Structure 1
Amino acid sequence: MEDIMDIVIRTSLGFVILFILTHIAGRKAVSQLTFFDYVNGITIGSIAAAMAVDSSIGMVAGVVSLGVWTVWIMIINFITLKSVPARKLIDSEPIMVIHNGKILEDNLGKRYFNVHHLLKQLRMRGVFDPNEIEVGIMESNGHLSILKKAQFQPVTAKDLNLSSRGAAASQFVGKELVVDGTVIEKNLTESGLTRQWLESQLQSQGVTDLNEVTLATINPDGTLYVDKKSDQAPLNQHVKK
């Protein structure tokens, strides 16, 4: 009976601690998890499970182990939040794997994906012919983002001028030009844009200091999307359940 009560107490304590730690460390949707997030989740779950059923592990030791691991997760999250190079190192960068219907095998290999994996992801998106894709980008979590060629996109009133957007889309799509106040010079150069153009565009949107910018990306049509740190949601705005 004592063994059963010990397991009940350990399991309940582990459940409560996990509930608290997941709120402290932050949560992401499953589709947004990177491999690093996935490993962290498994490790924390394993520690909690061991603490719950292994009586040779003291409850204090289990709690300390969970706490230390969570602190490290918070430190890494803070570093990646503030540092673009650290974010690239830990989460990796999105990489183009399809361009103008052609599969870029070298880039695909950098994510340890093969053609069969790529075709499977395309089929899951309803695409059976890679030639329909203008741009395919492998995200850091392994998800494939695609932009179809103009002739394969659903027709709407806004799409009537799509025939002139193909080249611009392949040149600009997915390009982050400013992240947390830091200009991504590589993306700026690859997009055929200059620092002067970027500063002019930012000034036209009321931005005088790069540190004001959380994110600036170039849209497929060549316009600049800017999200400023000073942007705030309306007060008392809640999502209806």
Structure 2
Amino acid sequence: MSDFIEIILRTSGAFLILMIITRLLGKQTLAQMTYFDFVAAITLGAITANLAFNTSFKALHILLSFGIFACITFLIAYVSLKSQRARKFLAGDPTVVIQNGKILEHNMRKMHYTLDYLNQELREKNVFNIEEVLFAILEINGTLTVLKKPQYRTVTRQDLWIATNPEQRLSIELIMDGKIMDKNLKENKITHSWLENELNKRNLHVNDVTYAVLGANEHLYIDTYDDRLQSPIDQE
């Protein structure tokens, strides 16, 4: 077997194995980079890279390494599920960095968290005055959670005693890329005739529609291929 063909096969196999293991590890690995997730991602990447193009290593040995890594990962995940102490050791604890408008410098130093980064995270959450913050907590995945003081929080309908219509479900995708989502219609007991009637009211055909979704408030949103804009913005 030539090196060229071997690299193609190894790379394809590495990609397939990486996808399988990532699926088995679950969405948490993608959404939350804890200490353990960070180490796992680096290790998984290194093993995959060697399997893909390092022909000096036997593929069988690298597959064995994949198997050992997968077993260790599942074992640690199981122990973390059963033990709170293990979870704290592997993932760490959330850290309070602002309390009642006061920055907790000692906690920030322990986490090597700078004021510049703190201000950036606050601005991303539309907080430009630290005095507005009741608590700011640095989560185990590195994100900052902010709870404003009551007087600075957004007013809700409940605060104003305004009646609201209950929402019992999520929005339902009815058409995507000019094709009816038959499964969604069936699961939500929506008939094709109702959908076609709604399209007819708008002088549309299914092929004209890019995206159609029925909101939780029963409002039907439809976007067509022809947006009919005078000067559409088309910039990278």
TM-score grouping bracket, smaller chain normalisation: 0.5 to 0.7
CA contact (8 A) 2:94 2:139 kept: yes
In the alignment, which residue of structure 2 is the partner of 1:78? 78
User: What is the correspondence of 1:83-98 to structure 2 with a 5 Å cutoff?
Assistant: 83-98=83-98
**What CA deviation, in whole Å up to 9, does each residue of 1:54-85 have, x standing for no partner?**
11110101101111111111111111111001
AA aligned to 1:13 is G
User: What is the correspondence of 1:42-61 to structure 2 with a 5 Å cutoff?
Assistant: 42-61=42-61
Offset, 1:142? 1.1
Q: Which moved more, 1:27-36 or 1:41-50?
A: 27-36
Distance 2:18 2:152 in 1: 47
User: What is the correspondence of 1:20-59 to structure 2 with a 5 Å cutoff?
Assistant: 20-28=20-28, 30-59=30-59
Distance 1:102 1:110 in 2: 17
Offset, 1:34? 1.2
**Does structure 1 residue 65 correspond to structure 2 residue 72?**
no
User: What is the correspondence of 1:120-199 to structure 2 with a 5 Å cutoff?
Assistant: 120-159=120-159
In the alignment, which residue of structure 2 is the partner of 1:198? none
CA contact (8 A) 2:133 2:149 kept: yes
Structure 1 residues 85 and 19: alpha-carbon distance in aligned structure 2, compared to 1, 3 A threshold: same
User: What is the correspondence of 1:100-115 to structure 2 with a 5 Å cutoff?
Assistant: 100-115=100-115
Distance 2:65 2:125 in 1: 41
Structure index of larger Rg: 2
In the alignment, which residue of structure 2 is the partner of 1:225? none
Superposed CA RMSD: 2.2
Structure 1 residues 54 and 127: alpha-carbon distance in aligned structure 2, compared to 1, 3 A threshold: same
Q: Show structure 1 runs of 5+ residues with no match.
A: 162-235
Offset, 1:29? 6.0
Identity over the aligned pairs, expressed in percent?
A: 38
AA aligned to 2:14 is G
Structure 1 residues 122 and 31: alpha-carbon distance in aligned structure 2, compared to 1, 3 A threshold: farther
With structure 1 as the length reference, what TM-score do the two structures score?
Answer: 0.63
Offset, 1:93? 0.8
Distance 1:157 1:102 in 2: 30
Distance 1:156 1:16 in 2: 47
Distance 1:66 1:96 in 2: 38
CA contact (8 A) 2:35 2:92 kept: no
Distance 2:120 2:96 in 1: 17
In the alignment, which residue of structure 2 is the partner of 1:14? 14
Structure 1 residues 159 and 104: alpha-carbon distance in aligned structure 2, compared to 1, 3 A threshold: farther
Q: Show structure 2 runs of 5+ residues with no match.
A: 162-186, 189-212, 214-236
**What CA deviation, in whole Å up to 9, does each residue of 1:103-158 have, x standing for no partner?**
11111222221222111110111111111101111111111111111111112243
**Greater percentage in helix:** 1
Secondary structure of 1:74's counterpart equals: helix
Distance 2:115 2:40 in 1: 29
User: What is the correspondence of 1:194-213 to structure 2 with a 5 Å cutoff?
Assistant: none
With structure 2 as the length reference, what TM-score do the two structures score?
Answer: 0.64
Structure 1 residues 5 and 131: alpha-carbon distance in aligned structure 2, compared to 1, 3 A threshold: same
Distance 2:56 2:63 in 1: 14
Secondary structure of 2:88's counterpart equals: helix
Q: Which moved more, 1:25-34 or 1:133-142?
A: 25-34
